[in-house]
Amino acid sequence: MSAYRIVPAGDSSLIVEFEERIAPDVNARTIACAEAIQAARLAGVRDVVPTYRSVAVYFDPLRTDSGVLMRCLEREAGQPLPPAPAARTPVRIPVCYGGDLGPDLAGVASYAGMPEADVVRVHAAGTYRVFMLGFVPGFAYLGIVDTRIAMPRHATPRVRVPAGSVGIAGVQTGVYPTDSPGGWQVIGRTPIKPFDPSRDDPFLMTAGDAVQFYPIDRAEYDRWAVTRGSPLDEPRGRQPGGPAVSVIKPGMLTTIQDLGRWGFQSRGVPVAGPMDPVSHRLANALVGNARDAALLEVTLLGPELEFEDERLVAVAGAEFDLSLDGRPVPSRAPFTVAAGSHLRFGARRLGARAYLAVSGGITVAATLGSRSTHLVSAMGGVGGRALMAGDRLPLGDPSPSRGLALAPQPAVAALPDRHATVRVLPGPQVEYFAPDVLDVLQSAPYVVGHNSDRMGFRLDGPRLTHARGADIISDATPLGVLQVPASGQPILLMADRQTTGGYPKIATVITADMAIAGQLAPADTISFVVCTPHDALTALIAQERALMALEDRRS
């Protein structure tokens, strides 16, 4: 029998932890366990994510029998390691080492005490295992690097590492699929795309694969290099057929969001989706859309929009002064717009994010099953970016239902007035911290930093002290988890969070309170209160009943 433990991470994820080391045999066990859980096809399971030494299982607590899920995890985690599968044909990746494409090759050579050519030879001689995918879509964590060239990552990460860069971080190596921040030692670059949504199989590598690198010269690299732009980019001014809504002014940060891109976290693809899922669902209900229809998430400063035909429109979430052709219209109530009507967002009164739904929904092309915009990977929505003036957003056919013929509805989740109190469940790595850490977490509010975004809120408040160091083997990162770097100041991971991270995690915001957290803006404050799993489920059931009561009243 294998050693393992199962720990909760909030009320909607469980993590099976194996031995805390980077080793092929441990990783083989996590992959086998993940595959068995996926094969069980349990109701409500949304994602199964193998990492170096654990398996994260994300589920809908309203659809999943947690007892059945726990028994499944215990059964599969306790299985002996299955016979090794037949060796896979290695994925071969060409690399142009050094020069401007490998700016850290000289530093690695100095660290190793060998010529640059020998570093290239040693790196290219290895056959590496794909232990896991994470960080950004298609980023494969490969190992194990020869100890002679296993240079630690940079103390200060670069702001931008170009797509295709091949790097080393200790015993790990890997290829950056997109332009992104990063601290690895960049020794070369490949013209091959590890992730390309336009391919039938967007992912070059998967967990358990073998990978080999081989050197090419600059001339071959230049011949082989492909266009780095996303195949999903939609040029401004593109005119979709059929009815649409046009963007006159985009606001500060307006993006297209549906309920998110579930099912691909094992390949490093973040879920995205709304920061406030309750208001997203309410807005759709008010206009008669399905709960997963795509709409607009409006952040802090709202847009001006023009409609091409008569539609039902509703705005939920943050309260703004709204005007339609110069006349005020209410929030949280459906109203009709005529062809040529202009809707303007004025002053923001409460909350940070509003959700604008149009009957029929926004029907931009889906990427990996979702229309949600994920800004870091430039995926979904309109070219993976925030809206711009001149964008024209296609609309679907309205439902025969005309939505809710009602007066303005109360918010299902109360909007914070520059402060929110949210409930958390301890874990999954509380043992990495001092014994009194949960008391410290609850002792005073934290301020949401100005460098916060849809990926996460950087918080400033009571310092959380580590007991076992501030670094862990990269592990799964659930929605709402509080990860704590060496500074002791927590980061609350939000909708666009990366799928894995290397900091210990002290607690996780319960599902029912994520909508409240999603309405906070920079300089707002947040307090945490530890609750029980029973409290978390009770709150979620009450929230679901309130939403279903509204959906059932659609005329």
Q: What is the pLDDT of residues 447-460, one digit of tens each?
A: 999 999 999 999 99
Torsion sign (Cα): 404, 407, 409, 415: positive
List all residues 6 or more positions away from 424 whose beta carbon is below 8 Å from its beta carbon. Answer: 10, 441, 482, 507, 508, 509, 510, 528, 529, 530, 531
Q: Cis link prior to 472 (omega < 30° from 0)?
A: no
Burial 220-246 (b: 16+ CB within 10 A, else e): ebeeeeeeeebebebeeeeeeeebbbe
Query: The domain 91-224 belongs to what CATH superfamily?
Result: Cyclophilin-like (2.40.100.10)
For every residue of 339-391, which 3-state class applies, written as one string?
A: CCCEEEEEEEEEEEEEEEEECCCECCCCECCECCCECCCCECCECCECCCCCC
Residue 400 has pLDDT above 90, yes or no: no
Fill in the amino acid letter for 428. Answer: P
Share of the chain above pLDDT 90, in %: 81
User: pLDDT tens digit string along 343-361?
Assistant: 999 999 999 999 999 999 9
What is the average per-residue pLDDT within 471-491?
93
User: How many CB atoms within 10 Å of residue 469?
Assistant: 9
The highest-level CATH class for domain 5-77 is alpha beta
pLDDT of 125 over the 90 cut:
yes
Angstrom distance (rounded) from CA 464 to CA 441: 7
For residue 219, count CB atoms less than 10 angstroms from its CB and return exposed for 0-12, middle for 13-18, buried for 19 or more. Answer: exposed
Has residue 83 got a pLDDT over 90? no
With a cut of 50, say whether residue 322 has pLDDT above it.
Answer: yes
pLDDT the model gives residue 432: 95
Q: What is the pTM of this model?
A: 0.91
Give the mean pLDDT of 243-261: 97
pLDDT for residue 377 is more than 50: yes
Sign, CA dihedral 218-221-223-227, equals: negative
C-beta of residue 370 within 8 angstroms of C-beta of residue 523: no
Average pLDDT over residues 304-330: 97
More confident position, 398 or 58: 58
pLDDT at 81: 75
Pairwise CA distance, residues 393 & 237, whole Å: 11
What 3-state class would DSSP assign to 253? strand
Residue 407: what pLDDT? Answer: 62
Q: State how far the Cα of 243 lies from the Cα of 307, in Å rounded to an integer.
A: 8
The predicted structure's pLDDT at residue 468 = 87
- Spatial separation of the C-alpha atoms in residues 396 and 114, rounded to whole Å: 62
Three-state secondary-structure class, residue 509: strand
**Which stretch, 77-81, 110-114, 473-477, has highest mean pLDDT?**
110-114
pLDDT bin (cut points 50, 70, 90) of residue 2 is low
- Using one digit for the tens of pLDDT, what is the confidence trace for 495-514? 999 999 889 999 999 999 99
First-residue to last-residue Cα distance in the chain: 57
Q: Do domains 5-77 and 419-545 have the same CATH topology?
A: no
Q: Which two structure tokens, joined as six digits, stand for 86? A: 């037949």
Mean pLDDT of 279-297: 96
With 50 as the cut, is the pLDDT of residue 493 above it? yes
Asked if residue 264 has pLDDT above 50, the reply is: yes
Average pLDDT over residues 540-551: 92
Interatomic CA distance for residues 362 and 294, integer angstroms: 5
> What are 192-244's pLDDT values in tens digits?
999 998 888 999 999 999 999 999 999 999 998 754 444 444 444 445 568 99
pLDDT higher than 80, residue 149: yes
CA angle 486, 53, 427 (to 5 degrees): 50
Q: Does domain 419-545 have CATH number 2.40.100.10?
A: yes
Mean confidence (pLDDT) of the chain? 92
Distance CA 353, CA 318 (A): 5
Q: Is residue 182 very low, low, confident or very high in pLDDT (cuts 50, 70, 90)?
A: confident
Which residue shows structure tokens 């958390």?
424
Average pLDDT over residues 77-100: 87
What pLDDT is recorded for position 309?
A: 95
Contact 423, 515 (CB under 8 A): no
Predicted confidence (pLDDT) at residue 403 exceeds the cutoff of 70: no
| Pairing of the two strands 481-483 and 491-493 | antiparallel
Q: Where are the domains of the chain?
A: 5-77, 91-224, 244-394, 419-545
- What pLDDT is stored for residue 231 in this prediction? 41
